[in-house]
Amino acid sequence: MIFQIILLIMLAYVVGFIYFGLYRNITARIQGRYGPTVYQSFYDSIKLFSKNNTVSYGWMFYLGPVIMATGAVLTLVLVPVFSDSDFLRSVTSQGNLFVLLYLMVLGPLGNALAVGTGGNPFGVMGVVRGLTRLIGLELPFYIAVVGLIIAANSSDIVHIIDVQKTAGLNIINHPLLFIGAMISMVGFFGASPFDIPGAPQEVYSGPRTEFSGKFLALLMSQGSLFAFAKLVLIVDLFLGGADSLVMLVLKTFTIFVAIIFIGIVYGRYKVEQAVDFLMKLPTLIAVLGLARIVWFG
């Protein structure tokens, strides 16, 4: 089990960073730049781990990124990665979808604590914007997840995957829920138009302003692990999971590219615009999908 966990973390680390590199590369090409190489994020991460950090603000500043990374790793190991194998099945069966929904916010809490300790008002401004955005952002995703749980009558992810083997993929059976969840995912990945918390060039780099050296490296690494976990979760919920590594990469990459392409063509919403938007159309779409399951399913 321990070996499998290490393997999974390494896989997520590599895949996550390559996807992040691709994200920077593709974005650059669309904007007519050459962009960094795909491996640039790797180099950055390794470089930052070996750099001195400029300042530290005491133990809570130190522990914040650690809490964040713990949340990401815990989320990662609780998401079933492969649909048919016993890979880490004994671990994933200990949790369920609700555990994951709430574990996903444990990491941001660690971040928020560290940012608050750092004492930079711009960082806190970013955190507060992020939390405000979350009010709208979680809504379509929650509706989609609740719909799937009611449809499968179980909050166990493995069971939701198994149901899709006989009844067909959820993306086809419940397309409205998928659309709702994808719009939320765009925000969860910090892509436009919901990228207000980080808001580069606007609030002086947002929550990560005060982090440097190994803290920044840890934040970057956990970000790639977390991104991978979220992609696998979407694949599990809507695309019936993946039975091999090739399928896993293929499916997660498809979702990832879709998110990039949605994000890149939009400008940035203000936080109130984002919440207003998310509460209207995406919520309506997801609620329609949910109503179909509850009343006609």
Site for other proteins in 194-223 (CB under 8 A): 204, 209-210, 213-214, 218
Contact set for other proteins, span 151-170 (CB under 8 A): 153-156
Q: Please tell me whether residue 272 binds other proteins under the rule CB under 8 A.
A: yes
- The interface mask with other proteins, positions 105-144, x = CB under 8 A, is xx--x--xx--xxxxxxx-xx-xxx-xx-xxx-xx--xx-
Shortest gap between Cβ of 110 and other proteins (angstroms)? Answer: 10
In contact, 48 and 73? CB cutoff 8 Å: no
Taking the C-alpha atoms of residue 58 and residue 117, their distance in angstroms, rounded to an integer, is: 8
- Which CB atom, from 35 or from 130, has the smaller least distance to other proteins? 130
Taking the C-alpha atoms of residue 156 and residue 176, their distance in angstroms, rounded to an integer, is: 21
For 236, what's the count of Cα atoms within 13 Å in the CB-facing half-sphere? 26
Shortest gap between Cβ of 77 and other proteins (angstroms)? Answer: 7
Taking the C-alpha atoms of residue 152 and residue 156, their distance in angstroms, rounded to an integer, is: 9
Shortest gap between Cβ of 146 and other proteins (angstroms)? Answer: 5
Which residue from 12, 15, 88, 97 is in contact with other proteins, where contact means CB under 8 A? 97
Task: Tell me the three state secondary structure of residue 50.
Answer: coil
Spacing of C-alpha 242 from chain mean position: 18
Helical packing angle, 2-30 and 213-238, nearest 10°: 90
Q: Please tell me whether residue 57 binds other proteins under the rule CB under 8 A.
A: yes
Q: Please tell me whether residue 1 binds other proteins under the rule CB under 8 A.
A: no
- Which CB atom, from 120 or from 224, has the smaller least distance to other proteins? 120
Q: Please tell me whether residue 284 binds other proteins under the rule CB under 8 A.
A: no
Phi, psi dihedrals of residue 242, rounded to the nearest 5°:
-125, 140
Q: Please tell me whether residue 248 binds other proteins under the rule CB under 8 A.
A: no
Q: How many residues bind other proteins (CB under 8 A)?
A: 81
- Which CB atom, from 96 or from 192, has the smaller least distance to other proteins? 96
- Which CB atom, from 122 or from 253, has the smaller least distance to other proteins? 122
Phi, psi dihedrals of residue 35, rounded to the nearest 5°:
85, 165
174, amino acid identity = H
